[in-house]
Amino acid sequence: MLRRMKQVGIDYLFANGGTDFPPILEAYAQGIQNGVEMPEPLTIPHESVAMGMAHGYYLATGRAQAVMVHVNVGLANTTMGAINAASDNIPLMLMSGRTPLTEKDRFGARMIPIHYGQEMRDQASLVRDVTKWDYELRYGEQITGLVDRAYTIANTAPRGPVFLALPREPLSEDWSDDGALARQVPPRPGPAQPDPDDIARAADMLSAADRPLIVVQRGDPEGRLAEALSTFADAHGVRVCEFWPVRNQLPSDHPMHAGYDVAACLAEADLVLTLDASVPWMPRSMGPADGAKVIHIGPDPYFQRMPVRSFPSDLAITSDPAAALASLAAALGKPSAAAATRREAAIADGQARRAQALSQAESGNGAPMSGAWVSKCLSDVFDDDTRIFNELGASASFMHLRAANRSFSAPYSGGLGWGVPAALGAQLADRDRLTIACVGDGSYTFANPVACHQVAEALELPLLIVVLNNGIWNAVRRSALSMYPDGAASKMNRMPITSLSPNPDYTMIAKASRGWAERVEDGADLPGALARAMEVVRNERRHAFLEVATSTEHVPGT
């Protein structure tokens, strides 16, 4: 199994072990003795951290990884990570042991009482609703074919996690069929191409539009969509709005970047083109103008996994978004004269919007400081390749992002605790590239921070972690205020089920794993603290931690 996983392209096995792991441990020991190539095993002391790291590693590399955990109890702890991966179309191979099938006689049979207590009628049901494929190993000789199938399905668009259960008895069988390992690795399926007739219709609709708009929320790790989008939007004068982006696609100063306020963009647009955007706007409070045409493009433009989703559509094109944009550009041909006029207007609007954002950020330099100020200060330490992972933390509205795939935000599934583990996974992919995790204090707590800091030290990952501490679950508070702006809860000094007081000293958690840590109370002190943190990350090559006291002011996009 491990040899085939390496052959299909899995670099790491993010592992949280249990009594079902003896065959895995023995296989690794024998493989190391015999020089066998296998995924590098990483001991991750909490399952949710393992899932987040595999998620972040894929975002950084485009290569799906494997997570293995202990039977049903370990699998239960991975469920939130599986939900996040499914929401974000992240391919990964999730595996768990399964309590031994037999009570005696067979090698690997039950040995201790928990082998009875952990039995389930349908263990895979814990993750079946959010995985593309699942199976339980019956016989050892199946394993290479199952690895091939699992990995291929995970990487077929729309991508997502798959699950394989591994009982001890078949997992510990002897292997004698090296011919199966010599079999060709199945090629990854190529991107879906658009229907030419659909592209011709889309080109006609775009040519007839005076104020076209593109809405995008994510792209591919390789940057193919970002490159195609940048070229297309610039050439044809089409504004691009990144509404709640989970992965930014344009540099902040791109001529056609229209910011993040999709309501204002929709009010002006007479054609809306969405690119793999599961929630291009919020129907409750906004939508396209009367008479505006809507085109949806993506590998699954109707997002069939979502039971309720009722966005209007005049044309839906099933295609890889980058391939569709390339075909659409070819169908449109030479840009119209109106494109240059739209481009000039967009440049002026963008300059005004960024100046306003800068002014807003600088006004938050106080005690406590605003999230906008934190975002701006973080942006000031970015280099050209810096990546930031946000979870109710920094906002792209107040940062200068130099290229695509520089800012990653938590999936819409909202499984908290994603940000720091995902950043750890991305840092693992490239230890020399500055990676920052910026999260809220509640999100930090959900991340199993003791495990995160232990991993950062054990794997020598020089990550910068910034925690925005406002002492409450602000997302819960804001949700209550949006539903009941004049309600009884809105008038309370401390709203029920929102306070995190008394706060622990979060810096002590980082210091427990030999991380550098500091707390910042005043916004004027933040640039200096960031400079000290960067010295630790860049020169001492260890992880740094900043706890930042922030206000409860809402930061757009978080």
Domains of the chain, residue spans? 2-182, 196-351, 363-549
Q: Over the stretch 290-341, which tens digit does the pLDDT of each residue have?
A: 999 999 999 999 999 999 999 999 999 999 999 999 999 999 999 999 999 9
**Domain 2-182 carries which CATH code?**
3.40.50.970
Sheet holding 40-43, edge to edge: 40-43, 12-15, 65-69, 92-98, 161-167, 134-136
Cβ–Cβ < 8 Å for 94, 162: yes
> How far, in Å, are 80, 87, 448, 473 from residue 476 at the CA level?
19, 21, 20, 6
Is pLDDT at 223 greater than 70 in this prediction?
yes
Q: What is the mean pLDDT of residues 143-157?
A: 97
Residues counted in the chain: 558
Of the chain, the percentage scoring pLDDT greater than 90 comes to: 90
Neighbours of 72 (CB within 10 A): 21
Q: How far apart are CA 241 and CA 211, in angstroms?
A: 13
Q: Over the stretch 79-90, which tens digit does the pLDDT of each residue have?
A: 999 999 999 999
CATH architecture of 363-549: 3-Layer(aba) Sandwich (3.40)
Give which of 179, 187, 136, 175 is closest to 2, Cα–Cα: 175
Q: Over the stretch 468-478, which tens digit does the pLDDT of each residue have?
A: 998 877 778 87
Question: pLDDT value at position 499?
Answer: 77
Contacts of 311 (CB under 8 A, 6+ apart): 274, 280, 281, 283, 294, 296
Same CATH fold assignment for domains 2-182 and 196-351: yes
Cβ–Cβ < 8 Å for 74, 16: yes
SS3 of 544, please? Answer: strand
Is pLDDT at 557 greater than 60 in this prediction?
no
Q: How far apart are CA 67 and CA 90, in angstroms?
A: 13
Model confidence at 556, pLDDT cuts 50, 70, 90, reads low
Torsion-angle region of residue 369: left (phi > 0), alpha (psi -120 to 50) or beta? Answer: beta
b/e sequence 483-511, b meaning 16+ C-beta within 10 Å: eeeeeeeeeeeebeebebeeeeebbebbe
Determine if the pTM surpasses 0.85.
yes
Q: Over the stretch 43-79, which tens digit does the pLDDT of each residue have?
A: 999 999 999 999 999 999 999 999 999 999 999 999 9
Neighbours of 139 (CB within 10 A): 9
Q: What is the DSSP letter of 272?
A: E
Contacts of 404 (CB under 8 A, 6+ apart): 219, 223, 226, 227, 230, 247, 248, 249, 250, 251
Instruction: State the fold for domain 196-351.
Output: Rossmann fold (3.40.50)
Looking at per-residue pLDDT, the higher value among 179 and 330 belongs to 330
SS3 of 136, please? Answer: strand
Neighbours of 104 (CB within 10 A): 8
Is pLDDT at 139 greater than 90 in this prediction?
yes
Question: pLDDT value at position 382?
Answer: 97
Backbone angles phi, psi at 420, to 5 degrees: -65, -45
Backbone angles phi, psi at 313, to 5 degrees: -150, 125
Model confidence at 516, pLDDT cuts 50, 70, 90, reads very high
Joined together, the tokens standing for residue 424 give 């750890």
